Structure 1
Amino acid sequence: MSDVKPINPIVKQVLELGPTILFFLIYLRIKDDTFVIGGTEYTGFIVSALIFVPILLVAMGLLWRLTGQLSRMQVFTAVMVIFFGALTAWFNDERFFKMKTTIVYGLFSVLLGIGLLRGQSYLAYVMSEMMPMRDEGWMILTRRLCAAFAVLAVANEIIWRTMSTDAWVKIETFGFPIALMAFLMWQFTSLQSYLISEETDDAS
């Protein structure tokens, strides 16, 4: 595995969050327009979703070039965006792009759940180097995050099936990320007692 190169935190945040924000802004600009491509009419939402795919890939390419590494979650998300973006364009049906969020959150919940059934925390496998924590703490966080992803998956299904596209785009862009970030910050605060400090390591 190649070493991770240092990167300006602001640049990193722009590359990670920028594509989603751009999708939102592009959607706002063309949501009421209709585009004819290859003799087929597409809504502004579908065109925004298609534009989002290359924007995301360029951002990920720059992030990989600058850091020398991409997380498994980033790669998985990119694959899902490409796949469901292609289905959205092929069938000219925006529901595929909206379902993407349900499937991504659902798969995260299932994968964490499989690890829990095996008595393991796959979350620790991914994040233990960034945040040293005792096994008990990782199991608690994994159980809670497994449940949180399941709730987000169900919430997305309810929202896109019962609310307008405008509402879904806003919740997808801001609501879900903010909710997940707030949940994680709450968990990291509540699990402070399980963190392994350098002093503890030295003493042991």
Structure 2
Amino acid sequence: MSGQGVDVMFGLMGDANLLFADHFARQPGQTFVPTAIEGSGVLAALAFGQGSEKIGVATVTQGPGLSNCFSALIEGVKRRAPMVLIAGDTPPNSQLAIQDLDQSQVVEATGAGFQLLTAPDTALDDLSLAFRRAQHEKRPIVLNVASHFMDVDIDYAPPARPAGPEAPFVSEGADFDAALGMLASARRPIILAGAGAIAAR
């Protein structure tokens, strides 16, 4: 997660994401913010992303843990807000588990994107793809992780560059000077700012 620039994660722990959330919380410089309800973890991650200009991250457990995020994911889709939700899932051979459901159908019904973590050795690539998709598609992406992958050790190599928006910069040059001149000479300038101006269709 630190390779993606993530230092804060929200969510509610359950049996399918317990090891992952605990490991994250024990890393220096990383903070896990527990929530009382799964959907509030998603909403907190959306708000954190908006306020920090980072991609917000949350985690929930399988089945009802994910379905409790339904309305919050719809909110993120309607706001066109990039975020990543890491959802534990029942292993493929546990179809009779009481919490088993087709999580891809739950996610797709909200309009959010679904990304499957296919195997432990593809975990870093799958995680990176989820972040890139969230940024590019401007919507929540649910990274679905089977619970039996959570305690598998893998070799880690940090990515060349974390996902997420570019660092802010101060404009300069002829275009900046021209814009500044127009603004300074205007009698009643109108300035459009904020997410609506940036993400206008």
Q: Which bin holds the TM-score, normalised by the shorter protein?
A: under 0.3
Instruction: Choose between structure 1 and 2: higher helix proportion.
Output: 1
Tell me the TM-score normalised to structure 2 length.
0.28
Tell me the TM-score normalised to structure 1 length.
0.27
Select the structure with the greater relative contact order (CA < 8 A; seq sep ≥ 6): 2
